[in-house]
Amino acid sequence: MLLKFIFNHISIVCTFRKILLQHEIANFKHDYRLAVFHDDLPIISVAILFATIGLSISAVTVQATNVVGTWVGVTHAAILGVDPHHNTKDPNKIRFVKTEFTFVIDKQEGQNFSGYRISKNGLKDNFVGAFRSNMKSGVTSNSDGTRVFDMVGNDIMDSCYTHTISANGKSTVAACNELKRQ
């Protein structure tokens, strides 16, 4: 696709150069300064070619990373209250825990995707997600809270999750982890 694009732009530049040469020959009798322009024509043609290629490549849409698959990681969480994913039971206690999660992303269309996560305790909840325009970072959301993420590579996702006590009535959670595709 890129080669076809480059060949199309080369043909546009060559056509432009041909038109300039025809114009130069037709007007040479009237203005001798155009003869000097003829010597600079290859440089101008190359400059136009690279300018059009550069502008067009920057306009090419960046593809979102394919995130469909199973992702696993250990969450480092700070929790206030009762949270069954992390096995905390005291509503007034702050705990710092590490919990393994498995994320399964089973659908993706462009920059949007969906799936579910399962904690080591077997609890499952669904989520939806979207990439930002840079197609390397984004956000997911479930019924309790929000996770922001950055793709560190095609198979590593760095993410942080939060929810407040007002979301589920039981706990406040701040957690970060690195998820690796299996």
C-alpha–C-alpha distance, residues 177 and 154, integer Å: 16
> Among residues of the chain, what percentage have pLDDT more than 70?
65
Whether the model pTM is above 0.85: no
69-181 maps to CATH 2.40.128.120 = yes
Instruction: Tell me the average pLDDT of the chain.
Output: 81
Q: Are 138 and 147 in contact (CB under 8 A)?
A: no
pLDDT in tens, 96-147: 999 999 999 999 999 999 999 999 989 999 999 999 999 999 999 999 899 9
Predicted pLDDT of residue 145: 93
Q: Which of 162, 165, 160 is nearest to 179 (CA)?
A: 160
Query: Which residues are bridge partners to 99 per DSSP?
Result: 75
pLDDT in tens, 8-32: 555 655 565 666 556 555 555 555 5
**Direct distance between the N- and C-terminal alpha carbons of the chain, in angstroms, rounded to an integer:** 32
Q: How many helices (H) and strands (E) does the chain have?
A: 3, 8
Predicted pLDDT of residue 160: 98
| For residue 2, pLDDT beyond 50 | no
Q: Are strands 156-163 and 137-141 parallel, antiparallel or unpaired?
A: unpaired
The structural domains of the chain, with segments of one domain joined by +, span 2-59, 69-181
The per-residue DSSP string of 64-95 comes to: PP---EEEEEEEEEEEEE-BGGGTB--TT-EE
pLDDT in tens, 89-110: 888 899 999 999 999 999 999 9
